Structure 1
Amino acid sequence: MSHTPPSRRPGRVAVVGAGPAGMAAALSAHQAGHEVTLFERHSQARPAGNILNLWPAPIKALGLLGVDTEDLGAPCQSEFRNMRGKRRVRVRLPEHVVRDYGGGFIGLLRPDLYERLLAALPPGVLRTGHALEKVEQDDHAVRLHMDDGTVHEADVLIGADGINSLVRRTLWGDSPIRPHALQLYGGYTFDRAVPAPGGLCVLTHSPTVQGAWTAIRSKGRDGFQWWVLSAHDIDRPVPDDIHRAAARLGRGFPAPLPQLIAATDPAHVQSWPLRDRKPLKQWSKGRVTLIGDAAHPTSPYAAYGAGMATEDGYFLGRRLAGVDLTDGQAVRRALHAFEAPRKPHTARQSQTAWALGKVFHHAPAPLRPLRDAVLDHTPLLQKVVGEGTPGEILKQLEEIDRAEREFTAVRDAVRNAVRNAVRDAGR
C-alpha cells in the first residue's frame, strides 16, 4: 500500500449517487482522510423503497462509519415455511452475533436508514441537484461534467448511481437489464390490533406466491412490514389499486399476513418489479470504480441489496486509506484490492436470488408438487439458505474485522508521520 506523504494534499474523491452505497463510501473515504464530494441528482437523498432488512455485517459497518444504529430496527430471526406452517428453513447465527447485532437481522423502514446516514455525513460533503452527464479520465484525474455545465475534477470517482448507472455505462458499455418477471408488493403498518408475534421474519410459499412478514421498529414504534410477490409478465401493466392486488395475492396465507395487509394504509404500499443485471467480471477501470447496484444490482429476493451496498462503501473507503491518490498506479492497485473479494460474494448473492425466484415462481405446473416435496422433505433449502446465508454473513464480519485492523494501522502510521514531520520542522 502506498502511503500519502504528510506534505501532499489529501486525495479528492467524488461519489455519484446518495444511496446507501454512496453515503457509506463518502463516510469511509472521509474517515480515510480524503476530501469527499457526494453528488445526488435529486433535490434530496431519497429512498427508492419503503421496507428493508439489514443483516449483521452492514450493521457493523454502519457503526464503524459513525452512523447511529441504536434502536434502528427490530431484531428478527428468519424462517421459511410452507402453506401448512411446516418449517423448511431456519436461518441460525451464533449467539454472540445475535447478541451484538440485534438478532439475525433487523427489520426497519428504508427512510430511517437514509436519515441516520445523512445525519452522519460531514457538512458540505453532499451536493444535491447535481446530475452527472459525462465522465472523462486520464492518468492524472477524473473529470465529471455536470448538467449545469460545471466540471468537477477528482482523483477517484465512485459510481454509486444505481442499476441504470451512467458511470457503469461509461466504463463497460450497455448491458441488458435481466427481468425476473416477478412483481413485489410491500407495505408496513403500526396497527397493534393485529395479533402477530415480534422477533420473527416468516417467509411462506404457496405453489406460486411468496408471502412474508417481519417485525419492524421505527422511531420508537413497533410494527410490521410485509410483502407478497408472484410471477408477472413484464409487458402486463401493474394494477392501479396495488393495495387490493396485494390483498388478493395474500388471500389464503396463514395469519397474520392477510390481516397485516388489510390493516395497512394504502399510502404505505409500494410495488416494484424484480430485476438485476448479470455480474460484471470487473468493476474498476483506471481511477473509476462501481459499488452497490451500479456494480451488482440484486433482486430483493436476496434481502441483501442495501446491505451489500453499505458493505461496498465501507470496504472501498478502507482500501483508500493511506493511498496517495495522485499516484495512478497506487489507485489502480487499491481499486483492484477492493473489488477482488467483493465480486464473488456479491455475485453469489445475486445469482442465488435469481435462482430462488425461478424455483419458487417459474417452475412448470407439473413439477411444482415434486419441487415442494423436495423442499418439505429434504435439507436442500436449509443448506442453500439456512446455512449458506449465515456462512456469508460470518465471512463478511471477519472481513470487516480484518479491514478495520489494517485501517487502524495505516491511520496510526500516517498520524505518527505527521507528528514527526511537525516535530522535525520545529527543530
Structure 2
Amino acid sequence: MSEQNWRPGKRVAIIGGDPGGMSTALVFIKRGYYVLYLAWCDYIPDIPLNKEMISHSSQYQISYFPITHNGKSNFEWWVMGPSCEGKPILADSKAHIPGILKDWADPIPRFIDATDFGTQIYRWEIRNKFSINRWSSGRIMYLGDTVHPVSSYTIYKQDEAIKDGYYLARVLDGLDLREQDAVSAGFEILKSQRIEYINYNTEFARFPERMSHSFPWPLAKIEI
C-alpha cells in the first residue's frame, strides 16, 4: 500500500492477530497446564463409525471419534493429562501412552496397535488463559489466539481467527468506517455476539475440568 493511502485520514480500523506462542505466554497469566497427545489411525473393524467416546479418570481424559481422511474412514483419538512447569517431557510417546490406554474400556486399548507412534501422534502443551471481556481499544481490534482464553493447538488457531473475522466483517458491513462512533458500535455488537459467547462456553467447560482435577476425593468422582 502506498504512503498516500496510509495517511491518518485513511486509517479506518487496525486488526491484530496471533502474536505467537512466546508473546502469548508473556502476555497472559497461566491458569492451567496440561499435556495433550493427539493421534489418528486407520479404520478398525467392528468399531462403529456413528459413535464417539469421551471418558475420564482422576488423571486423564481419553476420547475418540470417527473422521474421514483422504476419502477413507479413520479414527482420531487423544489423551490429555496433567503437566507442570519443570516436569520432564516424555518425548517417546510409544514408551508410556500404551501403559495409560491398556486398561481402559474397549475400544480404547485397540488404538495402540492400530497407530504408528512415529508418524500418527502429536504432542502439545496446553495453557489456559483468563477470559478477556474486551478485545478492542479505539480502532484496534484483536482476533484469534491473541485474545481467546484457550491455548491454540491443532486447527484451533485458524478456526478461531476465521470465525472472528467472519463475525467482524458482518458487524462492520455497511458502516461508515471513517466515523469512530460507527467503528466502536460495530465492535460492541461483536462483543455481544462473539466475545460473550466464547467466554461463557469456556468458563462452563472449565467447571467439570476443575471438578475432575482439583476437587478432593470423593467429590472429584461425581459425574456432571
Q: TM-score, normalized by length of structure 1?
A: 0.45
Kindly indicate whether residue 124 of structure 2 is the aligned counterpart of residue 284 of structure 1: no
CA distance in 1, matches of 2:131, 2:7: 26
1:362 and 1:162, CA in 2 relative to 1: closer, same or farther beyond 3 A?
Answer: farther
Whole-Å separation in 1 of the counterparts to 2:209 and 2:124: 15
1:161 to 8, 13, 18: 18
Shift of 1:139: 6.6
- Identity %, equivalent residues: 25
Q: Note the 1:169-208 alignment, pairs <5 A.
A: 175-190=27-42, 192-208=43-59
> In the aligned structure 2, how far is the partner of 1:309 from the partner of 1:350?
16
Secondary structure in 1 aligned to 2:109?
helix
Distance 2:51 2:158 in 1: 20
Amino acid at match of 2:211: V
Shift in Å, 1:360: 1.6
Identify the residue that residue 100 of structure 2 maps to in structure 1: 249
Matching residue within 82, 90, 105 for 1:239: 90
Q: Deviations over 1:367-410 (max 9, x none)?
A: 1x3432x31xxxxx2xxxxxxxxxxxxxxxxxxxxxxxxxxxxx
User: Which residue type is aligned with residue 282 of structure 1?
Assistant: R
Report if the CA contact (8 A) 2:31-2:130 is conserved: no
Q: Is the 8 A contact 1:187 1:227 kept in 2?
A: yes
Matched, 1:334 2:178: no
Q: Any conservation in 1 of the 2:54–2:61 contact (CA below 8 Å)?
A: yes
Alpha-carbon deviation of 1:280? 1.4
Cα distance 1:290–1:306, how it changes in 2: closer, same or farther (>3 A)?
A: same
SS at structure 2 position matched to 1:214: strand
* Aligned position for 2:145: 293
In the superposition, relative to structure 1, how do residues 299 and 357 fare at CA in structure 2: closer, same or farther (>3 Å)?
Answer: farther
- Give the distance between the partners of 1:247 and 1:237, measured in 2 at CA: 18
Alpha-carbon distance in 2 for matches of 1:363, 1:213 = 26
Task: Indicate the SS of the match to 1:356.
Answer: helix
State the secondary structure of the residue aligned to 2:34: strand
Determine the C-alpha separation between the residues in 2 that align with 1:139 and 1:317.
Answer: 22
Q: Which of 66, 69, 73 is the equivalent residue of 1:215? A: 66
- Report the equivalent of 1:316: 168
CA contact (8 A) 1:159 1:165 kept: no
Does the Cα contact within 8 Å between 1:139 and 1:328 map onto a contact in 2? no
Shift in Å at residue 234 of structure 1? 2.5
- The equivalent of 1:99 in structure 2 is none
Letter of the aligned partner of 1:254 in structure 2? Answer: A
Amino acid corresponding to residue 342 of structure 1 in structure 2: R
1:243 CA drift (Å):
3.4
Distance 1:275 1:155, change over 3 A: same
Paired letter, 2:204: T
Q: What is the identity, as a one-letter code, of the residue corresponding to 2:91?
A: D
Offset, 1:179: 4.4
Using the TM superposition, give the Cα deviation of residue 162 of structure 1 relative to its aligned residue in structure 2, in angstroms: 5.5
Q: Which residue of 2 aligns with 1:371?
A: 220
Q: Decide which structure has the larger Cα Rg and report it.
A: 1
Distance 1:279 1:329, change over 3 A: same
Q: CA deviation at 1:138?
A: 9.9
Runs of 4+ with deviation above 6 angstroms: 303-306
1:298 touches 1:305 (CA, 8 Å); kept in 2?
A: no
Once the two structures are TM-superposed, the CA of residue 212 in structure 1 deviates from its matched residue by 0.5
Aligned to 2:204: 352
| Cα-Cα RMSD | 3.0
Query: Which of residues 109, 114, 132 is equivalent to 1:263?
Result: 114
Residues 243 and 358 of structure 1: CA distance in aligned 2, closer, same or farther (over 3 Å): farther
- 3-state SS of 2:105 partner: coil
Contact 1:230–1:361 at 8 Å: present in 2 too? no
Task: Tell me, yes or no, if the aligned pair for 2:145 and 2:160 is still in contact at 8 Å.
Answer: no
Distance in 2, Cα, partners of 1:239 & 1:371: 26
- Contact 2:213/2:220 (CA < 8 Å) preserved in 1? no
1:200 match: secondary structure: coil
Q: Alpha-carbon deviation of 1:330?
A: 1.9
Alignment deviations for residues 31-58 of structure 1 (CA, whole Å, 9 cap, x no partner): xxxxxxxxxxxxxxxxxxxxxxxxxxxx
Corresponding letter in the other structure for 2:141: T
